[in-house]
Structure 1
């Protein structure tokens, strides 16, 4: 069977972890979906950042609670790290203040995905999590996402 005919591959492609702050319905749905697609997920339940997510090269960092007390510090550290993907769950309007604060501190937010995920129109925790996992998978393969049809 040619590579073109193979619909999927179970070849051992290594991906970074998905680090999630904090524990809420979206984070739990994200962990379930990401685990299903073979990603390692670490959910930090403490909304103050706990012991720290400590992103490594290739990791994805998803802030599921933009109101968490340590949100600015978590984003600051993630954006300064070698994480491959940094995102925050929030509308552009709700995230604006936090992003402005980071910019005022001199933090480069050009790689920050806010709002996190692809625009699928979902409203439930599972649908929102699906859009975020889809974006992480697309980014990890250097793809923009979107329909495969031409």
Structure 2
């Protein structure tokens, strides 16, 4: 993919709310196949579109990109064919990886996760609904009116319609597994509405009503503030970090961590279907490139013994 192709693809993904990592080569010391300015897009399933180096560099970028997607934090990734001494105290925004598969050059690749803004779906045309939309956008949420919005994409759904079509909206949100579902109502009316929902008791218990934290809110803006504060408090915090040699020693651990050790070169690779792998004696092994895979296939016992 050329740079304009990558830019067009990235624009389409942002419009479709698809998370990805934009990888850009910023330094390439010969001999490397990549050049400064080469770009690629890394998807959550490990698929890569574009070019940032050969199979070994690509595998490293894949593993780091997947690890960064849940945090949304950028990373300057340095890939070296030989171990390098630490020049300064470790930093969360920089990572040096020793990749013995490289042809001899060193690469620096800037990884920028692009994660869609959390989607807030607001049902109703009340003053509280308007205040939620206005304040939500200022806090970085993408806000959509409830009519026609797909709750499956939403981080939060709030009904502030004062009795209009509340049950249907709440049931759709609960069945879609929305993390935060709120109903603006008095405690008495809220309990009646929730009790009438055609869902089980576990799902009913997930409805926040009256929606919002108890901060003594009176105005529509204050109520909206209390609801957004509760949404922020409820949202799950993820811990995306660079993969710093944390590898899986067993297939079960590989499934949990998302990474494994190449048994030939010792490199950390992502355990996704698009990564090279080989099943031997009922165990799946993962590889950074075709060279390591072929070497292992020729003598599995030799590598497993070592």
TM-score range, shorter chain: 0.7 to 0.9
Cα distance in 2 for partners of 1:97, 1:140 equals 26
Partner of 1:79: 174
Partner of 1:67: 163
Cα distance in 2 for partners of 1:57, 1:43 equals 13
Higher radius of gyration, 1 or 2: 2
Partner of 1:39: 141
Partner of 1:8: none
Q: CA contact under 8 A between 2:124 and 2:162: conserved in structure 1?
A: no
Partner of 2:297: none
Do residues 17 (structure 1) and 119 (structure 2) align? yes
Please state how far the C-alpha of 1:114 moved relative to its aligned partner.
Answer: 0.7
Kindly provide the CA deviation profile for residues 41-84 of structure 1, in whole angstroms up to 9, marking residues without a partner as x. 1123xxxxx43x3212452000002410x211111111111211
Q: CA contact under 8 A between 1:27 and 1:43: conserved in structure 2?
A: no
Please state how far the C-alpha of 1:96 moved relative to its aligned partner.
Answer: 2.0
Cα distance in 2 for partners of 1:116, 1:96 equals 12
Alpha-carbon spacing, 1:54–1:13, altered in 2? closer, same or farther (3 Å): closer
Q: CA contact under 8 A between 2:194 and 2:207: conserved in structure 1?
A: no
Do residues 121 (structure 1) and 216 (structure 2) align? yes
Partner of 1:54: 150
Q: Secondary structure at the match of 1:87?
A: strand
Give the unaligned 5+ runs of structure 1. Answer: 4-10, 45-49, 143-150
Do residues 91 (structure 1) and 193 (structure 2) align? no
Cα distance in 2 for partners of 1:82, 1:39 equals 19
Q: CA contact under 8 A between 2:152 and 2:173: conserved in structure 1?
A: no
Please state how far the C-alpha of 1:12 moved relative to its aligned partner.
Answer: 6.2
Partner of 1:47: none
Cα distance in 1 for partners of 2:175, 2:117 equals 20
* Consecutive aligned runs of 4 or more in structure 1 exceeding 6 Å deviation: none
Q: Secondary structure at the match of 1:120?
A: coil
Cα distance in 2 for partners of 1:133, 1:76 equals 21
Q: CA contact under 8 A between 1:66 and 1:95: conserved in structure 2?
A: no
Q: TM-score, normalised by structure 2?
A: 0.38
Give the unaligned 5+ runs of structure 2. Answer: 1-90, 93-112, 238-306
Please state how far the C-alpha of 1:89 moved relative to its aligned partner.
Answer: 0.2
RMSD: 2.1
Cα distance in 1 for partners of 2:151, 2:161 equals 18
Alpha-carbon spacing, 1:93–1:133, altered in 2? closer, same or farther (3 Å): same
Paired positions, count:
125
